[in-house]
Structures are given as C-alpha cells and as structure tokens.
Chain A
Amino acid sequence: DGGITQSPKYLFRKEGQNVTLSCEQNLNHDAMYWYRQDPGQGLRLIYYSQIVNDFQKGDIAEGYSVSREKKESFPLTVTSAQKNPTAFYLCASSPSVGNTIYFGEGSWLTVV
C-alpha cells in the first residue's frame, strides 16, 4: 500500500540524548515535512524539504535537524538542545510544496 510510514510509534529517551525519528514515503512525493503537535495544540512546522538534498527551517527548527539524502526518506533528529522535546511528531508529504499534504501516523516521543 502507498503511504507514509513513521517509526517508532512510541519512543522513550533520557534527557540529554539525541533521538532520530524515521519517516519513509512511497508516494513518489517531492516535498516532505515534519510537524510537532502538543496536547490540545495545533501543528507547528519544524522543517520541510522541497527536493532531495534541500531542506528549509520551519517555525520551530531550533534543537532539531534533518537530512534528505533520498526522495523517500526524511529523518528527524531531536537533539539535546531541544528544550521541551516531549511531543507528538508528524511526518507528512505532498507531490510538491503547495499541493495537498498527507500525514503519517505520528510518533510519540517522551523524554524523561
């Protein structure tokens, strides 16, 4: 089936550790995105990528890093510099920036 796969679904990490969230899509979409959603809050854009080997900061990029070495993959690293990393992270993709955005199932990150 075509879609966006995020892994893991639930992740626990100790404070001070970096953690990488995986996102893979087989929709042949050029654009990919990472959002953060806190309980009862809307989505906030962390990073987006229009094409391979290119990515741009969103509204809350501090403490996060990404790479886009392959069209299908857009991993997000939550670094120890991120002050409040515990959240629900959503990966998304669209045929290109400006088209309809489709979301993965999300990953819950808890930092203790």
Chain B
Amino acid sequence: AQKVTQAQTEISVVEKEDVTLDCVYETRDTTYYLFWYKQPPSGELVFLIRRNSFDEQNEISGRYSWNFQKSTSSFNFTITASQVVDSAVYFCALSEAGNYGQNFVFGPGTRLSVLP
C-alpha cells in the first residue's frame, strides 16, 4: 500500500528564515511520481513540482528547492528566505506510474505560517 507521511503538522518561522518541509513515502512500486502542492486559504491546490522515481537530481526553482533521496524514501522541500505569501498548507503526494496521476495519495499536510 502507498503512504505519505508529513511529520510536521505546523511550522512557524519569521520572514526571511529558511524552512524545510519533510516528506517520507512508502510504495512497493519501482516507478512512481512524487509531487508537492500548496494550498492557500482559498482552497485550490497549486502544483509546485513533480519528480519521477528515476530522477534523483535535486531541483531549484527560485526560492524553492527539493531534495529527493530514494534511499531514505524522502522528498523534502525547502523554502529559502521565506515570505509572508508562503503561508499555506503544503502537501506531498505520491502517484503510481501505471495510473499516471489518477490516484494521488496525499500526506496530511504541513501548515506553514510565515510571520512578518
């Protein structure tokens, strides 16, 4: 069975601090996809990144970076120099390759509060 764990329920940081959101996943599949989504108070899930299981290169996009380590089944997300607008709930998700994107398994989410 697939499972995604986000051990941090809530995190509060002061603006300009760096923050890392942890994600640990479980799957028996050898091919799968990992995602991060942001959910602002308005409710919609905003896509941030997709990573397939064969691509362990870390990725940086502006202030965002992702560290995928297959050996520890982790896909952590770091925000550098956080801003108030980063305040939201962040979800890590897993999807089987065979049913591409059909059935996301989401973690419970981490609520990030960035204080001014």
A, B: real partners:
no
Residues of A within 8 A of B (CB): none
